[in-house]
Amino acid sequence: MSKNREQLRVLLLQIRDGGQVREEELNSFAEYCGLQLNQIDVLNVFDTPTFSDRDADEYDALLVGGASEANVLLPEEFPFVTDCQRLLARCAETNKPVFASCFGFQLAVLALGGEIKHRETDFEMGTVPISLEYSVWQDPIFRDTPDGFFAVSVHKQYADKLPENCVSLAYTEQCIHAFRVKDKPFWAFQFHPEVDKRILVERLTFYKDKYTDGDDHLDNVLANAQETPQSNALMGKFVDRILVDQEHLLD
């Protein structure tokens, strides 16, 4: 049975250690999903590193955010990576709607049996044009998104191929940027649909020591940043077309 937007309750799996970025990410997900803050519960893995793969069972959807303090390739240093993968695997098995961003994309690839690689230099940082696969014409989220739209992308880990049960939806020259699990309401994005140009400026400034080579490099990246309305609109489409209009749930 379909729900009204106001009836929805979703879980945000958050991988953020700093208080400022935690709050900003939660507010961004709420804004671009078109939900109230009280409709989103947060499971932050730095506070709760061990949790059940059933923690999303009673929610209408699972959202997964990005990370700047963790690495999916270092589960021995960040033990919550394993439980994150188990949670995502269960969501895929049970048809729980999923919208996973950046670190969430990488977790999803691993959870579904794929491989994540690392690039220490010349990685994507800033706003980048995203190319669409032909398959998007029948995708309920992407079908009216223009090819070459701009999105915020800042990441050192990436995927250049997907697990067998996944369909590539978007890409850049460096990597795959979006996929859907076949016949499941499960989407993952290497770029950040929840981040706009303003937030990019704030976040890159905050994490400049991790991602940039200094103030000149940061200034150059930010000077070339573009607005990202088509990317940000994807979250609202997920809520409207998958969670509210549930006839599209398994399109």
pLDDT exceeding 90 applies to what percent of the chain? 75
| Run of H or E residues at 217 | helix 215-223
The tokens describing 17, both together, are: 């250690």
Question: What distance in Å separates the CA atoms of residue 49 and residue 78, rounded to the nearest whole number?
Answer: 8
What pLDDT, on a 0 to 100 scale, did the predictor assign at position 3? 81
Helix axes 19-33, 197-206, angle to 10 degrees: 170
What is the DSSP secondary-structure string of 23-46?
HHHHHHHHHHHT--GGGEEEEETT
pLDDT tens, 109-118? 999 999 999 9
pLDDT tens, 181-209? 999 999 999 999 999 988 887 776 666 56
Kindly tell me if the per-residue pLDDT of 213 is higher than 80: no
Kindly tell me if the per-residue pLDDT of 75 is higher than 90: yes
Question: What distance in Å separates the CA atoms of residue 185 and residue 61, rounded to the nearest whole number?
Answer: 9
CATH of domain 5-248: 3.40.50.880
Question: What distance in Å separates the CA atoms of residue 214 and residue 129, rounded to the nearest whole number?
Answer: 24
pLDDT tens, 130-166? 999 998 999 999 999 999 999 999 888 999 999 999 9
